[in-house]
Amino acid sequence: MNGDCLFCLISQRQAPAEVVFEDDKVMAFKDINPKAPVHLLIIPKKHISSLNDISEKDKELLGHLILIATHLAQEKNLKETGYRLVINTGPHSGQQIFHLHLHLLAGRHFSWPPG
């Protein structure tokens, strides 16, 4: 827990968010400024700044994060139409919040390559 980190505060329910899923390791909530009809953020409760800081011991946690994203996609009937999972990392990606998070985006067509 990093008291200066917004997503740590959200994960501890010390800052507000529209939480859609939570277990002992991860939390999923709606993005405050959605870029698509469905835009969820899935975070580990453990503070990890970015993919640049993961290590061998985080393997299971990261797998769990993706698994939960697919469960949420299933729950929202997105499996047929599809969805995009994004992890921005560092300045060129536009990462704004330095607590690792997986974006689950869906509900419209996404261009490729991304802008």
The residues carrying an active-site annotation are 101
> Residue 71 carries which DSSP code?
H
Using CB under 6 A as the binding rule, whether residue 33 contacts ligand 5GP is answered as: yes
Binding mask 72-91 for ligand 5GP (x = CB under 6 A): ----------------x---
The residue range among 20-28, 30-38, 64-72, 107-115 that interacts with ligand 5GP, by the rule CB under 6 A, is 30-38
Residue 48 contacts residue 64 (beta carbons within 8 Å): no
CA atoms of 62 and 100, how far apart (whole Å):
10
Which residues from 25-84 bind Zn ion, rule CB under 5 A? 47
Q: What are phi and psi of 58, to 5 degrees?
A: -95, 0
